[in-house]
Amino acid sequence: MIKLENVTKHYSRRGETITALRCEQLTILTGEYVAIIGPSGSGKTTLLSLLGGMLSPTTGKVWLGETSVYDLPTSARSEHRSQQLGFVFQTFNLVPYLTALQNVQIPLCLLGQAAADQERRASEMLSRFGLADRLHHRPSEMSVGQQQRVALARTLVNDPKIILADEPTGNLDPESREVVLDAFDAAHQEGRTIIMVTHDPVAANRATRSLTLRAGELTEADTDLQADQSPQRLSA
Ligand X SMILES: Nc1ncnc2c1ncn2[C@@H]1O[C@H](COP(=O)(O)OP(=O)(O)OP(=O)(O)O)[C@@H](O)[C@H]1O
**Binding track over 66-105 against ligand X, x by CB under 6 A:** ------------------------x---------------
**49 touches Mg ion (CB under 5 A):** no
Q: CA torsion, points 158, 161, 164, 169, in degrees to nearest 10?
A: 70
End-to-end CA distance of the chain: 22
Please, which residues bridge with residue 16 across strands? 13
How far is Cα 154 from Cα 87, in angstroms, rounded to an integer?
A: 9
| Choice from 45, 99, 146, 235 touching Mg ion (CB under 5 A) | 45
Helices (H), 74-228: 74-84, 100-110, 115-128, 144-156, 174-189, 201-206
Piece in contact with Mg ion (CB under 5 A), picked from 44-52, 137-145, 198-206, 228-236:
44-52
User: Which one of Mg ion, ligand X, none interacts with residue 20, CB within 5 to 8 A by kind?
Assistant: ligand X
Give least dist CB 202 to ligand X, A. Answer: 17
**C-alpha span between 227 and 231 (Å, rounded):** 9
Query: Shortest gap between Cβ of 13 and ligand X (angstroms)?
Result: 5
Nearer to Mg ion, 36 or 108 (CB): 36
Classify residue 74 as exposed, middle or buried by CB count within 10 Å of its CB (0-12, 13-18, 19+).
exposed
Size of the site for ligand X (CB under 6 A): 13
Q: Which of 22, 44, 134, 192 binds ligand X (CB under 6 A)?
A: 44
The site for ligand X (CB under 6 A) is made up of 11, 13, 18, 20, 38, 40-46, 90
The site for Mg ion (CB under 5 A) is made up of 45
